[in-house]
Amino acid sequence: MHHLLSFINEVRFIINLGISSSNFVEHIKGLVKNKGKNRTNIYLTLTLIAIVLAAGFVLSTRKTISLIIDGKPESVITYRSNVNQVLLSEGVKVTPYDKVIPPLDSKVSNNSAITVKHAVAVKLNIAGKETTKYSPADTVNDFLTAQGIVLGSEDKVTPDKTTKLHDGIEIDVARVEHKSVSALETVAFNTIRRPDSSLPNTYLKTIQDGQNGEKQTVFDVIYENGKEISRKIIGEHFIKQPVDKIMVAGTFPSMPVSRGGEQLDFKKVIQVKATAYYAVSGVGRTYTSSGRMAVRNPEGYSTIAVDPSVIPYGTKVFVEGYGYAVAADTGTAIRGNWIDVFFDTSAEARRWAVKYVKVYIL
């Protein structure tokens, strides 16, 4: 009992010393001097000191920290001295791509926090070139910034830059650029026809030759990943103005057929009903009502009967399908747009019968 009480008192004394190394040494000397014969007390005291020192060491290294893994917090008690040791002791694996705050070699203190953000796989496509990156970034924008990817003012990013990063996300960056492109093109000349009523409608003459021009056009061309997707004109000017081709075209009517190779003019054309009559008194002995001999002359002018109020006597005409003729006869049945063409024989008159033809007034 005496030894136990003595041992307890020694413990209290050591605790009161505050485990000071100098006091501890002096105390041991005193024990040896005063109680050298009692080795048991010395051994008990030394054992107690070792326990107290161990307890003090344990208490001084014990820390409560907050461990936040991918946004999920957890309170952890640890005796480790730095971040790396804590993570190893808690079974948290990290890679060089992961984000650890504070750094792995940082000291750990009581009530501190360790944050670990694990990297995710990102499929990155920039201008058609695909790579796989690993990043602990929070958003697409943070990822691009961390990767040192600088975006142009019109570059396109898919998905939106505010999108949260997740494992396997695909990010597409399309490079958009504008370029001014100029092109030289040929401008065709115009052909201008100037009508002239004093000239027959068969007349057509070039009085000024046309010349093509040259125009330079400037385009704003938009390229996406080097491929043109649109263009618009932002400027154009003529390097060489085109010269019009000018032609004079006659408008005075001409016959649809020529006479002796010469195209004849006509005043007007009318549509008529054409019947036929023949030389009932014999060729060379049949006369018209105007007193002229009725003739059929395919090489010259034949005789036809008309309504003088429509085609006056003496008018030269061209009858479609019959030929050139002179209005020199009439008849009681010939009224309005009706003519009677003359033939030498009744057989020719019967073959003609009745036709509707055009009559050109010469």
CATH value of 63-117 in 1.10.40.30, 3.40.50.2300, 3.40.190.100, 3.10.20.90 = 3.10.20.90
Residues counted in the chain: 362
Residue in 181, 149, 150, 173 with CA at minimum distance from that of residue 224: 173
Residue in 277, 293, 282 with CA at minimum distance from that of residue 332: 277
Q: How far apart are CA 243 and CA 249, in angstroms?
A: 19
Model pLDDT, residue 161: 94
- Contact yes or no for 135/163 (Cβ under 8 A): no
For 45, the enclosing helix (H) or strand (E) is helix 39-61
pLDDT tens for each residue of the chain, 362 residues long? 444 444 445 444 444 444 444 455 465 556 555 554 556 666 666 666 666 555 555 556 799 999 999 999 999 999 998 999 999 999 999 999 999 999 999 999 999 999 999 999 999 999 889 999 999 999 999 999 999 999 999 999 999 999 999 999 999 999 999 999 999 999 999 999 999 877 767 678 999 999 999 999 999 999 999 999 999 999 999 999 999 999 998 876 666 656 665 666 788 889 999 999 999 888 888 888 778 899 999 888 999 999 999 999 999 999 988 989 999 999 888 999 999 999 999 999 999 999 999 999 88
Residue in 284, 280, 323 with CA at minimum distance from that of residue 302: 323
- Contact yes or no for 200/250 (Cβ under 8 A): yes
Q: How far apart are CA 120 and CA 98, in angstroms?
A: 9
Model pLDDT, residue 19: 44
The CATH code of domain 120-174 reads: 3.10.20.90
Q: Please state the domain extents for the chain.
A: 2-61, 63-117, 120-174, 179-249, 256-361
Both ends of the chain: CA-CA distance in Å? Answer: 166
- Contact yes or no for 186/137 (Cβ under 8 A): no
Model pLDDT, residue 20: 45
Model pLDDT, residue 211: 96
The CATH code of domain 179-249 reads: 2.20.230.10
Q: How far apart are CA 269 and CA 323, in angstroms?
A: 14
Q: Do the domains spanning 63-117 and 120-174 agree at the CATH topology level?
A: yes
Q: How far apart are CA 197 and CA 30, in angstroms?
A: 149
Identify the CATH class of 256-361.
mainly beta
Model pLDDT, residue 362: 84
Residue in 282, 325, 286 with CA at minimum distance from that of residue 305: 325
- Contact yes or no for 229/211 (Cβ under 8 A): no
Model pLDDT, residue 159: 96
